[in-house]
Amino acid sequence: MMARLLIIGGSDAGISAALRAREVNPAWEVTVVVADRYPNYSICGLPFWLGGEIPDWRDLAHRKAEDIEALGIDLLLGHTARTIDPTAKTARVVDEAGRSKHIPYDSLVFGTGAVPARPPVEGLEQEGVFFLRMMGDGFALRDYLAEQSPASAVVVGGGYIGLEMAEALIHRGLRVTLVEHLPSVLATVDPPLGALVREGLNGHGANVVTGVAVASIDRQGHHLVVAGPEGFQAKAELVLVATGVRPNADLAIAAGVETGQWGAIRVSRAMETNVPHVYAAGDCVETHDRLMERNAYVPLGSTAHKQGRVAGENAVGGQATFGGTLGTQVVKVFEMVAGRTGLRDDKAREAGFDPLTVQLEAWDHKVYYPGAHKLHVRVTGDRQTGRLLGAQIVGHRTAEVSKRVDVFATALFNQMTVRALSDVDLSYTPPLSTPWDAVQVAAQAWMKCGREGTLET
């Protein structure tokens, strides 16, 4: 009989695991159990579909179900795994009609993802209040927008999903108030760059409120009233709550799997749990932080794909290792893109480094060629060793912010110094870059600043 790999969850992590397992060891039978009917959908694309930029939700599929099945992967759609018995090596799954069956496995991968975090706000349960995570959440929001035609919305949470959804709702013609409890939006970049993102949102008519922790949502006739301290009130016909996620790990915990930060499944860099033959990947697990050399919870699709691939390979006898996260992330808000990787000054200091952070502006390409834009770059490095620790960039969407962040990420991944980054042979043509690319202009500014201070590189 063939060995059997069972994967719970059919999104980024689960399908990546299935594809890799089939690739490296076709002798294994691979089954993926998926609670909904949307395997391998790019939920990252939901804001763009809801905003109307992508007309058909079906186009969000990374791959169609039939393409996955054509690769020899069995998809059990509309089936929810209820219990795992790691001794008998079976999973009990229940279909939409409530019928139960036991599926045996030799290796198991949890790819159960995350669920929206529910902030301590009264009134989250009422009509007109939405969370956004799975395709079903997207359909519910789409239906409400179509049937109720709300003219206004409050978005609670100024992280990347809140920002993307503020843009999406403005695209649809709604008046949007975005409320963030921290002093700045997009807290994954430093406040001076967060302020630029806020300006961009304001420029498109969003009312951005920071430093307010929403406490309650009450219905008053046709409106929902979102209230906070010191008399804060915002009225709208729709409220979207985007205040982060928490790992969906209850099934694994009940099977004896250990958890760590935020209740995420604890895994080795081989994506193995403490339970024999059980692996886990994606938003349900703790992530190896490559710079801090310890575990963190960084739920991102980019990471889920990589971890899923490692889990899938190892679950069928491979020897792969997850390289670790740097927290590399990018978001587009109207014409603006904000990206970041590695440590910011405060986190670097907490981690025991001696950080120096330099902020500067640099052109994305030669100014004489039409369409040049200034990039706002912040670079953090260690004064003692000259090691690059992190970078953040905000700039126009045509200014290749994400690829420049990726250059920093590549340097970080390979533990390069800021000076070494300045020496890398990067490409140049006037319509696209400058002879010293903005990344290197920033590296050199950092070195100069360091020389004027204490750094000797």
Ligand X SMILES: Cc1cc2nc3c(=O)[nH]c(=O)nc-3n(C[C@H](O)[C@H](O)[C@H](O)COP(=O)(O)OP(=O)(O)OC[C@H]3O[C@@H](n4cnc5c(N)ncnc54)[C@H](O)[C@@H]3O)c2cc1C
Residues catalogued as catalytic: 44
Closer Cβ to ligand X, 248 or 314, answer by number: 248
Q: Which is nearer to ligand X, 121 or 155 (CB)?
A: 155
Which of these, 192, 197, 135, lies nearest to 160 by C-alpha position?
A: 197
DSSP 318: -
Supply the minimum distance, in Å, between the C-beta of residue 77 and ligand X. Answer: 9
- Least Cβ distance, residue 282 to ligand X (angstroms): 2
Minimum CB distance to ligand X smaller for 14 or for 312 = 14
Cα 368-374-378 angle, rounded to 5 deg? 145
Q: Within 10 Å of residue 262's Cβ, how many Cβ atoms?
A: 16
CB of 32 to ligand X, least distance (A): 8
Least distance CB 343 / ligand X (angstroms): 19
Strand locations in 229-311 (E): 233-236, 238-241, 245-247, 278-280, 287-289, 294-296
Is 215 in contact with 204 (CB distance < 8 Å)?
no
Which CB, 196 or 280, lies closer to ligand X? 280
Q: Kindly give, in sequence order, each residue whose CB lies less than 8 Å from that of residue 403, ignoring residues fewer than 6 positions away.
A: none
- Minimum CB distance to ligand X, residue 418 (Å): 26
Residue count (the chain): 457
Residue 131: C-alpha distances to residues 39, 50, 116, 138 (Å):
20, 13, 7, 9
Return the DSSP state at 122.
B
Q: What is d(CA 75, CA 73) in angstroms, rounded to the nearest whole number?
A: 6
Q: What is the DSSP string of 375-420?
A: EEEEEEEETTT-BEEEEEEEEETTS-HHHHHHHHHHHHHTT-BHHH
Cβ proximity to ligand X: between 211 and 244 the closer is 244
Helices and strands (H, E) in the chain, number of each type: 12, 25
In the complex with ligand X, the residue whose CB is nearer, 239 or 455, is: 239
Tokens of 338: 């904000």
How far is CA 212 from each of CA 69, 78, 238, 258, rounded to the nearest angstrom?
48, 40, 19, 36
Tokens describing residue 70: 């054509």
**C-beta contacts of 19-23 below 8 A and 24+ residues apart:** 19/68, 19/71, 19/73, 19/309, 19/312, 20/308, 20/309, 20/310, 20/312, 20/313, 21/312, 21/313, 21/315, 21/316, 22/71, 22/72, 22/73
Amino acid at 310: V
Residues that bind ligand X (CB under 6 A): 8-14, 33-36, 43-44, 46-47, 80-81, 111-114, 132-133, 161, 248, 251, 282-283, 299-302, 304
CB of 381 to ligand X, least distance (A): 25
Closest CB to ligand X among 34 and 196? 34
Q: Integer distance in angstroms from the first to the last C-alpha of the chain?
A: 61
> Nearest distance from residue 44's CB to ligand X, in Å?
3
Taking the complex as a whole, how short is the minimal distance between the CB of residue 148 and ligand X, in angstroms? 21
Q: Which is nearer to ligand X, 11 or 357 (CB)?
A: 11
